[in-house]
Structure 1
Amino acid sequence: MELVLSIGIGVLVASGVWLLLRPRTYQVIIGLSLLGYAVNLFIFSMGRLKTNAAPVVQGVDVVDPANFADPIPQALVLTAIVIGFATTALFLVVLLAARGFTGTDHVDGREPER
């Protein structure tokens, strides 16, 4: 499971970086989103991958932390998803406004000379 998650994070990071280097603003926004998803998966994986484990300790005197999932990374990722969605929406609005002012969606504001 850890190998699949690591490969998935690597693919998201590689795709995000590749899209960040593209000349169109929409591709840059999608690349930032992919990098955000990769960071979210990385933070989520830091809480240990454990299936069928209780997320919260319930009235036990002796607690073995290895038997429980860590809820902090889950809460951080949930918050990051909401913030990432809001910033992506803001970036798209700025993209549409910039495209309306300049007439192009090229990163530097000009179409390449051919």
Structure 2
Amino acid sequence: KLKARAAERPDATENLEAFVQTLAQFGPPHPRPGAPPSLFVFETTVRLFNEIQGADAGPSAAVKDAVADVEKKVGPLIQAWRKLLDSDLPALNQQLKQAGFPEIHPVR
């Protein structure tokens, strides 16, 4: 039913595709085709935390470099996430609503 309506409203479909591309920026740099969406920086942070917690010695140079890289990415990523939730998603929902599609409601 939604597919038939989507064929009638290519503008809504294009807006939804653009939103999917925006979401992709939060995933890994080179995702596997068909891989489920992920929050790459969050997953990297958890992995690094587990490496640091599980070690009997200080963090290696590689772990220190990885932590520094995550620290650089977190600020801009949080800003982009807030923009996505505060303006991009409401704008998309308005377009979906006008086209007769269900809105997207994130779990908070």
Structure-2-length-normalised TM-score: 0.39
Greater gyration radius: 1
